[in-house]
């Protein structure tokens, strides 16, 4: 599996609000996790162009991340700008 427990804890610790390994529920940590998975699936689809089920999963993840980013933008614009800058997302 490409995403081990240790890698998830590292993502949550680096990008979560509480800077704890168990901060899996904050919007920032979820956005960071989705971004990691999106990058992995994008690399997979570059090699396997006809894998349509993976493409569908990728589109769902992008939609989930977009809705979390919209939520964060409405709630706290500074947190939104920080996570966009931290993860190098365009917008």
> If DSSP codes are grouped into helix, strand and coil, which group holds residue 62?
helix
Topology annotation, domain 5-87: Helix Hairpins (1.10.287)
pLDDT at 84 over 90: yes
Q: Quick check: pTM over 0.85? A: yes
Where are the domains positioned within the chain? Answer: 5-87
CB-count burial class (<10 Å; 0-12, 13-18, 19+) for 31: buried
pLDDT score for 12: 86
* Structure confidence by residue, pLDDT tens digits, 13-68: 888 887 677 778 889 999 999 999 999 999 999 999 999 999 999 999 999 999 99
What tokens appear for 90 in the block?
A: 């365009």
Q: What is the mean pLDDT of residues 71-83?
A: 94
């Amino acid at each position: 599996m490409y995403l081990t427990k240790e890698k998830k804890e590292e993502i949550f610790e680096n990008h979560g609000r509480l800077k704890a390994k168990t901060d899996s529920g904050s919007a920032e940590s979820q956005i960071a996790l989705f971004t990691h998975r999106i990058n992995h699936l994008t690399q997979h689809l570059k090699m396997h162009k006809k894998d349509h089920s993976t493409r569908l999963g990728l589109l769902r993840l992008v939609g989930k991340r977009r809705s979390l980013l919209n939520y964060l933008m409405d709630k706290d614009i500074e947190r939104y700008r920080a996570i966009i800058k931290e993860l190098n997302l365009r917008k």
